[in-house]
């Protein structure tokens, strides 16, 4: 089981959970700004372009704020690329494991950089690329590499696992594969510190030494927990500057979680309790619908104000899935219906992965500023949102 990376409640320790509807994501704009400022500093000191990974945090109402600090965003396909151009600023890099011939032309039109997953796919779409450039469109082409060095804690989140579909194995790379390629993309981390990146680069550098001077840029992908308190940012800056100066490359980073780390909570309410070998509480927060990583990883999200001693209560959602269990948590006493609860560090990934399985309502989205105490309900969802995604 993955360990939660939540650092603690921070300013949310004083947030009144009854100020918002339930369930509801509450994002602290001040915390997001602090994370962005930290990332901007790393980018400036490291001579590196920093892009927000929309796959992790695409709260587009904060698009202008992101643009004040970062150099752009990265998308995972056509719809995220459209979102980027509608609501964000700066450079747009798009990467997908595979493209479709009917959507690639628009991706090429929208993007500043398009990264392919294999040389064969790049060659197959050579005609579309030439046609786009013939129309005067300007974009770079990249190739994603699999460094074949596993560093992730959980294998299902490891881009370098055996049989991975993400990136071309570096052991198979040949000079001819880089014809028409402007840069390389390497993403091999998940919620990790500096040392795994250092080890990956130490293993990869000798293999890429002959080709790096021929390229324009190197993208080190995401999974960097740069804004975490224990991240070795000074060492990261040294590495980024060394790569850039030694090979004359523009270096990119694509943090996702780091933008919203410890910047949001998911507020819910206890609906019912009973006893079945252990106290059980049903909440309007569903693991499968609102925090699917709890099931997929799995992991146990941190609960705001959980007690060290007391009564252990199993929390679960309202869906019919037997496994819709969030986890076992300690309370002073079994919470009564109507009690508000909140899970920490839910601004990234949880929000973008929500679904309406079983007709479970989507959480509302609120923007709070912990410095001014200003609160704005950004979005609420209703039956129409559920119905309109079905046929």
Q: What is the pLDDT of residue 297?
A: 87
For 388, what's the count of Cα atoms within 13 Å in the CB-facing half-sphere?
Answer: 5
C-alpha torsion angle, residues 61, 66, 67, 73 (rounded to 10): -100
Question: Whole-angstrom Cα distance, residue 234 to residue 125?
Answer: 41
pLDDT per residue rounded down to tens, the chain (391 residues): 667 777 889 999 999 999 999 999 999 999 999 999 999 999 999 999 999 999 999 999 999 999 999 999 999 999 999 999 999 999 999 999 999 999 999 999 999 999 999 999 999 999 999 999 999 999 999 999 999 998 887 888 889 898 999 999 999 999 999 999 999 999 999 889 999 999 999 999 999 999 999 999 999 999 999 999 999 999 999 999 999 999 999 999 999 999 999 999 999 999 999 999 999 999 999 999 999 999 998 989 999 999 999 999 999 999 999 999 999 999 999 999 999 999 999 999 999 999 999 999 999 999 999 999 999 999 999 999 999 999 9
Question: Whole-angstrom Cα distance, residue 165 to residue 160?
Answer: 9
Q: What is the pLDDT of residue 156?
A: 83
Q: What is the pLDDT of residue 152?
A: 86
- Topology of the domain comprising 10-26+263-387: Lyase, Ornithine Decarboxylase; Chain A, domain 1 (2.40.37)
H helix intervals, 101-228: 104-110, 119-124, 126-134, 194-208
- Topology of the domain comprising 47-260: TIM Barrel (3.20.20)
Q: What is the pLDDT of residue 1?
A: 66
Q: What is the pLDDT of residue 384?
A: 97
Q: What is the pTM of this model?
A: 0.96
Which helix (H) or strand (E) covers residue 257, if one does?
A: helix 257-260
Q: Where are the domains of the chain?
A: 10-26+263-387, 47-260
Q: What is the pLDDT of residue 308?
A: 95
Residue among 320, 358, 315, 372 at smallest CA distance from 339: 315
Question: Whole-angstrom Cα distance, residue 313 to residue 307?
Answer: 11
List pLDDT tens digits, range 16-62. 999 999 999 999 999 999 999 999 999 999 999 999 999 999 999 99
């Amino acid at each position: 089981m993955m360990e939660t990376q939540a650092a603690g409640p921070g300013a949310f320790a004083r947030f009144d959970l009854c100020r918002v509807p339930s369930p509801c994501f509450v994002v602290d704009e001040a915390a997001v700004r602090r994370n962005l400022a930290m990332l901007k500093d790393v980018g400036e000191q490291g001579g590196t372009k920093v892009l927000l990974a929309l796959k992790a945090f695409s709260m587009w109402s904060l698009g202008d704020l992101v643009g004040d600090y970062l150099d752009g965003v990265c998308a995972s396909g056509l719809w995220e690329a459209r979102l980027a151009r509608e609501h964000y600023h700066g450079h747009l890099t798009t990467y997908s494991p595979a493209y479709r011939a009917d959507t690639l032309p628009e991706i090429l039109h929208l993007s500043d950089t398009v990264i392919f997953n294999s040389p064969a796919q790049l060659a197959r779409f050579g005609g579309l690329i030439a046609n786009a450039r013939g129309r005067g469109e300007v974009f770079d082409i990249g190739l994603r590499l699999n460094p074949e060095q596993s560093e992730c804690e959980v294998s299902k989140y490891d881009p370098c696992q055996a049989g991975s579909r993400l990136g071309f194995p570096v052991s198979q790379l040949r000079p001819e594969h880089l014809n028409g390629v402007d840069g390389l993309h390497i993403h091999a981390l998940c919620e990790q510190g500096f040392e795994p990146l250092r080890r990956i680069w130490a293993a990869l550098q000798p293999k890429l030494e002959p080709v790096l001077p021929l390229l324009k840029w190197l993208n080190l992908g995401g999974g960097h927990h740069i804004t975490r308190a224990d991240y070795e940012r000074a060492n990261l800056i040294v590495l980024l500057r060394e790569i850039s100066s030694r090979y004359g490359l523009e270096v990119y980073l694509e943090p996702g979680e780091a933008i919203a780390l410890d910047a949001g909570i998911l507020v819910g309410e206890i609906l019912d309790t009973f006893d079945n070998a252990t106290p059980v509480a049903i909440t309007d927060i569903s693991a499968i619908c609102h925090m699917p990583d709890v099931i997929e990883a799995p992991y146990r999200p941190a609960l705001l104000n959980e007690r060290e001693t007391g009564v252990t209560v199993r929390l679960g959602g309202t869906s019919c899935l037997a496994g819709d269990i969030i986890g076992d948590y300690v309370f002073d006493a079994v919470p009564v219906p109507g009690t508000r609860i909140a899970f920490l560090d839910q601004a990234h990934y949880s929000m973008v992965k929500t679904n309406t399985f079983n007709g479970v309502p989507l959480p509302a989205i609120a923007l709070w500023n912990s410095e001014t105490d200003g609160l704005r309900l950004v979005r609420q969802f209703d039956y129409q949102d559920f119905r309109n995604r079905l046929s």
